[in-house]
Every structure is written in structure tokens, then in C-alpha cells.
Structure 1
Amino acid sequence: MTNNSCRKSLISVNNELVRKILEDKFTLATTSFSNVYLGVWEGKNVVVKFFHEKHKPLAQKELSLIAQLEHENIIHLIGAGPSLPLNCSFLILEYANCHSLQNVLYDFSGVHYNLVNTLNWILQISRASDYLHRLCSPSVIHADIKPSNILGFDRLRLVKLGDFGSSTTTLSDEPSVFGTLCYMAPELWTVRSGEKLPYSEKSDVYSLTVTFWEFLAREPPNKILKRRDVADKFWSSITQRLPTLAGCPELLSIIIESGWAVNPMIRPTMFQLGRCLTSIIEQIFPVDSIIQGVDIPDDCLNFLKKL
């Protein structure tokens, strides 16, 4: 895979060094594929993503993809190991000091953000996604855009897209590990005329639009779409749209309706979405002004350790 920029050399980290990095570790997340830890390297917090033994091929796949990426709104890969390029079982990534937008929405109390913050977050992720879609060759589909994979920096003035474990390219024949159901575009599940609809970059647009709705509504979409069993949830994710938000500006409602349209052809591209959001921000916010940061609790790291 190639793009229009050149990454610095990737650091190969052996087992002895990663043990030092994780001396005072604690677990940030545990999934069916990996364990994610907070560690310290050269005096700075880093994230270490360890893949379970049977899922090591996923580590190699994610490494080969993310190592080629360089964008201000994509999480930075620092190193990997234990023996590159053939043996990869863990990734070392930059640490987001404001944590994920999932944490901001539901875990930290007393966090207040406004419409400009929301528009700025979606704009930045649309730019990261546009880079993946248009400037990488072949195009990369993230396939799991949601608040927990959007990471915050600088009092949430800067956000970055992370976790490329579900990602694939438009030329890949390998099956992808697709993400979370309520953010998933209907073409990933529906069948028409005996054929499954192809997924594309527009699938990411759908996921980002649901995320946009969630930032505005401040409640999880799976709460709204909840059904009695898995089959009902599958069907609701395909046929049911989230409700229109009371008081939402008409233009934003139009963007959301087009962004989660069942027909992918109706959805805008990430480039078009970003251009529209830029225009809106410029209309409601002075061009030379600095976007106000969001206050995150000073003890949020200690809070996460207790979760």
C-alpha cells in the first residue's frame, strides 16, 4: 500500500524492552482478539496492544496497514515486536491523554461540550477517513468508526482515529472482522437479488454519521435500537433509522439523513462531508478564533483504573 507521505522508520521492540515498558501496566481494554495496556516508554505513556496467540495473524495484518499511514488525525504507531518483520504479536501506539470519546460521553462526569466541538470532531475524522479513502492506494476502509475508536488530545481540540483491527482495503480478498452492529452500514448485512451488496468507502460514511448523531444526542444508538434478541437487532439495524433530534438545525438533519441512507450511492463522500462541515463551522464560528477546549477531569486516569 502506498500513500502521498513517507513514514519514519518503525521501531522494532524486543520482549525484554516491552517487559520494561509494562512494568507498571494496567489494562485499558480486553477484547476477544487482544489485551490493551497502558505502559511507559522513555518517560511517556504509551499504549501496548497485545494480540492473543491464535490471533497473531491479525497483528501482522494491522501492522502492515497502519505502518503505512501518516495523518494528523490518525493515531501514531511507535513500534511493534518482538521480531520484525516476520514475528509481530504486539503494537506500541501513542497514548491519548483525553482518552476516547466513548469515555467522554459515558464514563467521565461533568464533561460539557458544545456544537462547535462536535462539528470539529466529525470534521477531523472525516479528514482522516478521506485520507484513507482517496490518498491511500489501494483505498483503506476503517470499518469500525465509533466513539471508542476516536481518541482525544489537547482538551479534545484534536481527535484521532484509532484501532485498525477491522480495517481492510478495497482490493483485499480476505474477510474482514467487521465492527459494532449499530454503527454498521446495512450493505454489510443485506442481500438483494441473491447477492450481498458490496461494501465501500461509503460504509465508513454511514458509521461516522451514526457517531455524529450520538455526539448530538448524547446517548448510545444501541439503546435506541435495542430489541429482544440478536435477530431483531440485525433487522432493526438494517431497516430502522435513529430518531430525528429535537432542536437539531435543519442542515445538520439533512447531512445525517443523507449520511445514513440505505442506498450507499446517496451518501456523500468523506471529502464532501468534510467540505460541508467546514462551511458550517465558518458560518457559526469566527475564522480566526480558537475552538474552545473541553475540560476533562484531572483524575480520569485513576477513574479508568477502577472501571
Structure 2
Amino acid sequence: MVETPAGCVFEDIQHEDIQVEAAVGRGTFGVVFKAVWKGKDVAIKTIESDNERNAFLVELRQLSRVNHPNIVKLYGSCDNPVCLVMEYAECGSLYNLLHSADPQPHYTASHAMSWCLQCAQGVAYLHAMKPKALIHRDLKPPNLLLVARGTVLKICDFGTACDIQTYMTNNKGSAAWMAPEVFEGSNYSEKCDVFSWGIILWEVITRKKPFDEIGGSAFCIMWAVHRGTRPPLIKGLPEPIETLMTRCWDKEPSQRPSMNEVKNTMSHLMKYFPGSDEPLSLPHQSAANKSGSSSATSTGKSQLHSFYQYMIVSVNLLKMYMVNNEVSAFSTNGFDSSIPMAYLKLDHQLQPLAPCPNSKESMAVFEQHIRVAQEYLKVQSEIAHLVRTKQELMSELEQDQREQQTSSRLIEEHSKLLEENSNLSAYCQGLKSKLSLIKSQNQHHS
């Protein structure tokens, strides 16, 4: 038994103490099996050849350093045969949950936001490790595992991880989630994980495979990303989420937020997405582990429609641009449908205490507060509209100024060209006169 500097304890495990059951997947290297060790389910990751030994050693070294609830736990390793013994994720990968064949498990916007928050927490922990921080470099849904009936996410597959101090230029990761500086061969930092996180956020909200419409090889996706292509923006997505997502996949790594900032922003937004601890209704595990693309059956469409209905409620909570007193929240998603939306849209500190239903005075005060809240939100909506209008006018003004400057420059250049043309014409005429004079003199002498 060895205790690492991170406080993790892992063992030298004898293979005969492990009861291997069945293969459940494949990582960056090797095959992953479900097994039983010391009476509990575990995942066994093996190597298939000596060529995979380096990746095995990398994962062993990196996993032995980490201890976080959102990172898969390493219990120990075997020397003969060589394998890692890790925490088993009974719900499979996030990728399989998102894109498995029908019937697809239903999840809400709260689950989607919670998964992304948990991923950010795990990666922020890696980036903040001392004395040497880690970059994962292959962050994608196939490497994000789910436990606790789909409510808890854990990052796995550290075969490509490296120290942040080591600026790498070799091509690691997977094309759809890979930051452009990675496949372009540039020096890259921990911000490549931030780019991948932004793509994952888009994927769990839309339940679509990123860049699936491009088709072709990974190089087609890399070329598109290099030229600035990103997943299409999501109609109706709350502005704070859209801004965070697009900042994360910015072309320039320096413009992307740190993963710690991502984590803090997501933590703040989660108060608008209650119910993320509700267990998912998952199909039989063997079906959940099957690979396959999602098909657009009526069931899948119904689930996605319900998902977007919930997202629309969250839009109303996050954006105070629309005031509609007739709209009520969905009680099935954790909100009381009897409470007006104006109440829910208020900042938590401004929300009044729930009234006493048996007290007319209490109910009157509460109703008055609601009316004031509606007026407040109406003013906020008008302010937001005016701010947007001002920004649009400023943008138009700047465009007009640029066009005027361009016109002035073109006029000036045209005047110069006319002047030069006039000078050249005069010079040419002078040369012609001299030539005529020379010809007449030659004729006279002859």
C-alpha cells in the first residue's frame, strides 16, 4: 500500500484477487473490464501491447496524484498482468447517455448544467494542483463517467495528461473537442481543456454530436475549426450561458476564461437550475453501454422537447427581457406553479418571504410586493432594451464613421492619382515635343 503526496492511497494488487467479468469499453489505451475486487465492483484497465506501456505509466502516475469527487478514483495496480484497478461507473459514459440508441434516457437542463459544473470542478482541481498542475488534454463525453444514477460525473482516462509546466506540441485529444492550437502544432496550455469544456457544454444542451454535419475524416473537422467554425449557437439559450460557452471556444487561448472562472460562473448559475440531484431513469445497463447513434423517433423528440421546455423556463429566470404574468413554471421541475414568474425572476435576496395563507394582511403585502416586482422587471426590461438599442446605434455610428473615413481616403487617393496622371501627361507631352524637335533637326542636317 502506497500513500501519494496528494493523500491518495493505492495498493499493489494481486491479479488473483480480482474476478474479471466482462469488457465494458476502451480508453486511450487498453481495454476496460468490469470486475469485482474485495467485494465491490471495479473497473480494470489493461494494456494490449508494450506500445501502450508509456500511456499506462502516465495514467498511473497522474491518477495517483489526484483525489477529487469528480475524478475517477484509482484503487491500485497489478504488475502481472499489467493493469489499473479503478472505481467502476455503473451508468457508463456521458457520451453513451447522450447519443445511445432509443429509448434515450430523459434528462433536464438541470442535469446538463450540473454535469458541466462537475466537469469544471474536476478540471479546475487538476489545473490548480501543486507543485505541478495537470492538463487533461482529452476532455470529451466518452471520458466523462456517470455514477449515482446519472447525477454524479467523474473524469477518467488520463493517458494523455501532462504537467502544465510542460508545453506540449504533439497532437493529442479528439478532433471534435480539440482546441485549434493543439492540432495546429502550436504551444498550448491548460486553456485547451477550457476549449473542450465549451464544446461539451454545447453538446449536453443540444444532445447533438459536435460537427456531426461536417462528416468526413477528423481532418475535415480540424480544418473547419482552424478556419473559425464552431457549433451553431442555440436559439433561446440564456445569455450568460451563451457568453460563457463562446468565450471558452475563442480562437485565442488568452481570451478564454480560466477553468476556475468557469467553475465559479457555473456555480452561480446553478441556483436557477434546481433538481439536478433527481436520479435519472436509466435503461438496462447492457443497453446503456451499447455504442450507436441516436435516432429521431417520436420518443426522443418528446424528451428533447421537454428538455427545451425546461430550458425556456430557465431563460425566463436568467433574462429579464420578457415580462409575461400569464406564464407559470413547471411544477414537475421543482417550481411551484402557483407563484407568478415575476417572483421567480427576482434576485434571491429581493424575493419576499412566502406569505401566511391564513393572514389577509400577509397575503396583501405579498401581492403588493409582486406588483412592485412586476413593475421593477418591466423597468429592467426597458433599460435592457434601451442599452441594446444604444449599442446598436453606436455600432451603426462606428460603421458610418469607418465608411466615411474609407470614402475620404478613396477620394484623396483618387485626387492624387488624377494629379499624378496630369503630371505624367505633361511629362509625356514634353518628351514628345523633344522627340519631334530631334527628328526635325536630324532631317535638317541630312
Give the TM-score range, shorter chain.
0.7 to 0.9
Long gaps (5+) in structure 2: 293-446
Q: Which residue of 1 aligns with 2:68?
A: 71
Work out which of the residue numbers 256, 269, 272 in structure 2 matches 1:267.
256
1:54-98 deviations in whole A, cap 9, x for unaligned? 211221121011111101110000110126xxxx82101111122
TM-score normalised to structure 2 length: 0.60
User: Structure 1 residues 78, 230: closer, same or farther in 2, change over 3 A?
Assistant: closer
Quick one: which amino acid aligns to residue 295 of structure 1? S
Q: Which residue of 2 aligns with 1:238?
A: 226
Q: Does structure 1 conserve the Cα–Cα contact (< 8 Å) formed by 2:27 and 2:157? A: no
For the residue of structure 1 that corresponds to 2:128, the secondary structure is helix
User: Structure 1 residues 16, 229: closer, same or farther in 2, change over 3 A?
Assistant: closer
Q: C-alpha separation between the residues in 2 aligned to 1:295 and 1:70?
A: 29
Deviation at 1:265, TM superposition (A): 0.7
Q: C-alpha separation between the residues in 1 aligned to 2:73 and 2:260?
A: 22
Q: Which residue of 1 aligns with 2:105?
A: 111
1:154-174 deviations in whole A, cap 9, x for unaligned? 122211111111111123477
User: Structure 1 residues 45, 181: closer, same or farther in 2, change over 3 A?
Assistant: same
1:117-140 deviations in whole A, cap 9, x for unaligned? 111111111111111001242110
Which runs of structure 2 are paired with 1:97-176 in the superposition (5 Å)?
Answer: 97-107=90-100, 109-172=103-166
Work out which of the residue numbers 271, 280, 284 in structure 2 matches 1:294.
280
For the residue of structure 2 that corresponds to 1:221, the secondary structure is coil
Q: Which moved more, 1:94-103 or 1:26-35?
A: 26-35
Q: Does structure 2 conserve the Cα–Cα contact (< 8 Å) formed by 1:146 and 1:183? A: yes
TM-score normalised to structure 1 length: 0.85
Q: C-alpha separation between the residues in 2 aligned to 1:183 and 1:174?
A: 17
For the residue of structure 2 that corresponds to 1:155, the secondary structure is coil
Aligned residue-pair number: 287
Long gaps (5+) in structure 1: 191-195
Q: Which residue of 2 aligns with 1:193?
A: none
Q: C-alpha separation between the residues in 1 aligned to 2:183 and 2:289?
A: 34
User: Structure 1 residues 58, 5: closer, same or farther in 2, change over 3 A?
Assistant: closer
User: Structure 1 residues 157, 27: closer, same or farther in 2, change over 3 A?
Assistant: same
Q: C-alpha separation between the residues in 2 aligned to 1:70 and 1:202?
A: 22
Q: Which residue of 1 aligns with 2:386?
A: none
Work out which of the residue numbers 91, 94, 97 in structure 1 matches 2:87.
94
Deviation at 1:42, TM superposition (A): 2.5
User: Structure 1 residues 82, 68: closer, same or farther in 2, change over 3 A?
Assistant: same
Q: Does 1:53 align with 2:49?
A: yes
Whose RCO is larger (CA < 8 A, sep 6+)? 1
Q: Which moved more, 1:171-180 or 1:152-161?
A: 171-180
Q: Does structure 1 conserve the Cα–Cα contact (< 8 Å) formed by 2:127 and 2:164? A: no
Quick one: which amino acid aligns to residue 191 of structure 2? K
Deviation at 1:5, TM superposition (A): 4.0
Quick one: which amino acid aligns to residue 25 of structure 2? A
Q: Does structure 1 conserve the Cα–Cα contact (< 8 Å) formed by 2:42 and 2:87? A: yes
Quick one: which amino acid aligns to residue 261 of structure 2? Q
Deviation at 1:185, TM superposition (A): 0.3
Quick one: which amino acid aligns to residue 251 of structure 1? P
Q: C-alpha separation between the residues in 2 aligned to 1:174 and 1:261?
A: 20
Deviation at 1:33, TM superposition (A): 2.8
Q: Which residue of 2 aligns with 1:11?
A: 11
For the residue of structure 2 that corresponds to 1:40, the secondary structure is strand
Deviation at 1:14, TM superposition (A): 2.6
Quick one: which amino acid aligns to residue 97 of structure 1? E
Q: C-alpha separation between the residues in 2 aligned to 1:118 and 1:199?
A: 28
1:211-243 deviations in whole A, cap 9, x for unaligned? 1100011011141332x4454332013221110
Work out which of the residue numbers 275, 289, 307 in structure 2 matches 1:304.
289
Deviation at 1:4, TM superposition (A): 7.9
Q: Does structure 2 conserve the Cα–Cα contact (< 8 Å) formed by 1:60 and 1:89? A: no
User: Structure 1 residues 186, 303: closer, same or farther in 2, change over 3 A?
Assistant: closer
Deviation at 1:103, TM superposition (A): 1.4
For the residue of structure 2 that corresponds to 1:45, the secondary structure is strand
Sequence identity percentage: 26
Quick one: which amino acid aligns to residue 278 of structure 2? Q
More strand by share: 1
Work out which of the residue numbers 217, 220, 224 in structure 1 matches 2:213.
224
Q: C-alpha separation between the residues in 2 aligned to 1:265 and 1:177?
A: 20
User: Structure 1 residues 4, 135: closer, same or farther in 2, change over 3 A?
Assistant: farther
Q: Does 1:36 align with 2:32?
A: yes
Q: Does 1:189 align with 2:187?
A: no
Instruction: Kindly report the root-mean-square deviation, in angstroms, between the aligned alpha carbons of the 2 structures.
Output: 2.5
Deviation at 1:189, TM superposition (A): 2.1
User: Structure 1 residues 253, 135: closer, same or farther in 2, change over 3 A?
Assistant: same
